[in-house]
Amino acid sequence: MAVNHSRIIYSDFTVKTIVIAIGGNSLIKDAQHMSVPDQYASVVETVRHITDLLARGHHAVITHGNGPQVGFILLRSEHARAVMHQVPLDSIVADTQGALGYQLQQALENEFGRRKLTTAVATVVTQALVDRNDPAFAKPSKPIGQFYTREEAEDRMRVEKWAMVEDAGRGWRRVVASPKPVRIVEAEVVGHLVKHGYVVIAGGGGGIPVVADADGSLHGVAAVIDKDLASAVLAKQIGADVLVISTGVEKVCLNFGKPNQRVLDSMTVAEARQYIADGHFHPGSMLPKVEACVRFIEQGGSVAVITCPEKLSAALDGHTGTRVVP
């Protein structure tokens, strides 16, 4: 069957539920374009590529990173510490979910209007449940915020009870735990909205990290959750067909940046695990993306794709990107 939509012919078209994860860094092009208007301009550009997918009738959940944006709020809070209270990290994640959700939501609605699409958009403030006994809490390792002098760091450790480490001679930095997400608390709501045709923005920054008390009550914790892993968990919970991780490269590479660099069109879970063991993927960039894809497939997902924003449609059709398969 061929479906004619927006002057493009798609063959053997099947509507899919897709979770699309975009990075917080992808919303900031460089150090000269970090303002809120600059970020919105990047959102508009990314949204155009996402809408190419959505115009074909697919159901979608869009997740996003928030690392730089959290850093900005922490810096503002630091400068205002003499006159205002400090903002807890879980509240900062919630703040960025609202702000970035607003930008994505508005940009999507505007793009839909230009293309005469009637799809509605909803942003869901999302909590991610983590295990209070996760080993990550015993060894905080995720750096956040600015650099401090030793004297400033000692003050923060004494007054704020922060964990801090010296960073290769550049100064001291706060570190927090990065526990693995167990489940997304609002997944049922997200799934319901998607089923009824909404495009949903959820899981911002990996979700607001929360733990459960013995009676089931939730409360936030100072932690950072990897947004790609959280996206994989959410995709599993809502029964998504495809997990798409949008990043800065068209395809995953082995020996990245070296003379013997090799581009991967696809890899099985077993191959991906071997590449991880061989150290091909950097912990701060491609490693969590590949791990998220592996987790999604191992939990029953059909296919996961890693590619850049402008290649989303072609990658979903199997023409580019790197596919992770069972």
Residues with active-site annotation: 24-25, 142, 227, 289
Please enumerate in sequence order all residues whose Cβ is within 8 A of that of 8, keeping only pairs 6 or more positions apart, or say none: none
CB 117 within 8 A of CB 199: no
Nearest to 175 by CA among 132, 211, 222: 222
- CA 185 → CA 180, 193, 212, 214, 235, distances in Å? 14, 15, 11, 16, 13
Three-state SS at 247: coil
The residue ranges of DSSP E strands in 108-246, in sequence order, are 121-123, 127-130, 142-148, 163-166, 172-176, 181-184, 199-201, 208-212, 218-220, 242-246
Please enumerate in sequence order all residues whose Cβ is within 8 A of that of 319, keeping only pairs 6 or more positions apart, or say none: none
Q: Which two tokens stand for residue 217?
A: 């009550």
Instruction: Report the alpha-carbon distance of residue 204 to residue 225 in Å, rounded.
Output: 10
